[in-house]
Chains A and B, each alone.
Chain A
Amino acid sequence: MSIEAGVVAVQGDVSEHAAAVRRAARSHGEDATVTEIRTAGHVQDCDLLLLPGGESTAISRHLQREGIAAEIRAHVDAGKPVLATCAGLIVASADANDDRVTELDIVDVTIQRNAFGRQKDSFEAPLEVDGLDDPFPAVFIRAPVIDGVGDAEVLAEWDGRPVAVRDGPVVGTSFHPELTDDCRIHDLAFFESAVAP
């Protein structure tokens, strides 16, 4: 049976996440069918969800307006996995410290947006991540920083600040694991956790 993967497709690097979750599934001998979620009524059919990078203000506005936000919270309450990256993590957080973002509150962290600076400060670097044997090629683009961790577990830090966390079925990263061919973070989020479909 194929895995139903939902990519929240309001805006951002949707096709990269779709490709990454297919690669991760294949490496486990499974097939992933990807549904792009732009309207309500599709999340409940998904085994797992991806919240891509993009602009958190635009994404959060659309999720609220279309009624998708409540569906995502129900997905997490049912214990089904989510990977949220960069803007996706901002939207998923408990508090993004910004009135323009309505948080989903599915990861118990607080966030500072654009904490690494503007695009000229964006960078790539090998990053040590708990659960991975070798460093992960992490790409940080106008990345947010996690400045408060409640019940979430820290999986990686950059310069002493958390940049990857797990909170129950949700994994969040402030970098973009979907931008390289390395799908180990997707693996970690979906295939090696206790809640794998």
Chain B
Amino acid sequence: MTDATDLEELRRGTDLVKRGFAKMQKGGVIMDVVNREQARIAEDVGAVAVMSLEAVPADIRKRGGVARMADPADVEEIIDEVSVPVMGKSRIGHTKEAEILEATGVDMIDESEVLTPADDRFHIDKRDFTAPFVCGARNLGEALRRIDEGAAMIRTKGEAGTGDVNQAVHHQRNIKGAIRGLAGKSHEEREEWARENDAPADLVHETAEMGRLPVVNFAAGGIATPADAALMMHHGCDGIFVGSGIFGAENPEAMGTAIVEAVNNWDDPDRLAEIATNVGEGMQGDANAGLPEEEKLQGRGV
């Protein structure tokens, strides 16, 4: 046994450590929870992490008004309850909410359009934080801007709280399609693409060479059933966030278990058929198509 390891060389909050944390969530389901009882159920049904917030997106939609970060006492209660990582949502551009969440001890911060944006021009400078961030995106340019600001994970924005998966599919197809498009482009065409899409050129080149986003890419927004979760895995997502879809369902335990198993077995239709049987009613939901532009959350923070 050698003991020459130098403890002074330890480094926290590096890109490797932040992006590495996100990689450990791959193939998993991250569930929205508003209290310790829900957190317990989420962990028991196999969530890889929980997102603590004050109200699920469907309720935020109904309630209206300004949506803010959760009370740190409620977040702490959830941290004490479960052994899986706990995430928290801050408003877009609200550096202080993010600092409070980091101090509270959350493992990842979601700078989320589901809450009311605090800054209409800038997102949080996420590079300054030790905690990793996840951010939403509707297309590749938006995803790369967030990564440039320091995001360690990207999720589709979808249209949160609707129970309608079509916008998550749309955003994921945008991102994947754009990455495929970059593969056929020359160096100068990629530079041009970067200018036209307000994306940092170095990240455009890196993405083109990797053939995928340089960070983990989850699906979020409107996922309400095991089949929805499997669909997003089919579209190449690394994992799934479920917001209102679990605790808005008739039987959260059955729905949660089924969504976790659907992500494990997304490419096996026979298993999916078993998994999707007898899970109870899903959340009621609102079709995106009928939603007025001003009520959509996805346009917040581009």
Which one of B13-21, B176-184, B199-207, B224-232 is at the A interface?
B13-21
Which one of B41-49, B117-125, B136-144, B165-173 is at the A interface?
B41-49
B107 & A158 in contact (Cβ 8 Å cutoff): no
Q: For chain B, which range describes its interface: under 10, 10 to 19, 20 to 34, or 35 or more residues? A: 35 or more
The chain B residue sitting closest to A98, CB to CB, is: B83
A11 & B26 in contact (Cβ 8 Å cutoff): yes
User: Number of A residues whose C-beta is below 8 Å from B?
Assistant: 47
Which one of A23-31, A43-51, A116-124 is at the B interface?
A116-124
Does A130 sit at the interface, judged by CB under 8 A?
Answer: yes
A124 & B105 in contact (Cβ 8 Å cutoff): no
The chain B residue sitting closest to A61, CB to CB, is: B46
B1 & A157 in contact (Cβ 8 Å cutoff): yes
In-complex Cβ contact of A141 among B6, B24, B83, B84 (8 A): B24
Q: Which residues of B contact A176 (CB under 8 A)?
A: 20
A123 & B83 in contact (Cβ 8 Å cutoff): no
In-complex Cβ contact of B24 among A13, A124, A125, A128 (8 A): A13
Does B301 sit at the interface, judged by CB under 8 A?
Answer: no
A128 & B3 in contact (Cβ 8 Å cutoff): yes
- For chain B residues 1-56, which have a beta carbon within 8 Å of chain A? 1-7, 9-14, 16-17, 20-21, 23-28, 43, 46-49
Distance, CA A87 to CA B264, complexed state (A): 17
Distance, CA A186 to CA B298, complexed state (A): 43
**Chain B interface residues toward A at CB < 8 A:** 1-7, 9-14, 16-17, 20-21, 23-28, 43, 46-49, 79, 83-85, 102, 105-108, 130-132, 260, 264-265
**Chain A interface residues toward B at CB < 8 A:** 9-16, 38, 53-55, 57-58, 61-62, 86-87, 98, 100, 113-114, 118-130, 135, 139, 141-142, 154, 156-159, 176, 179-180
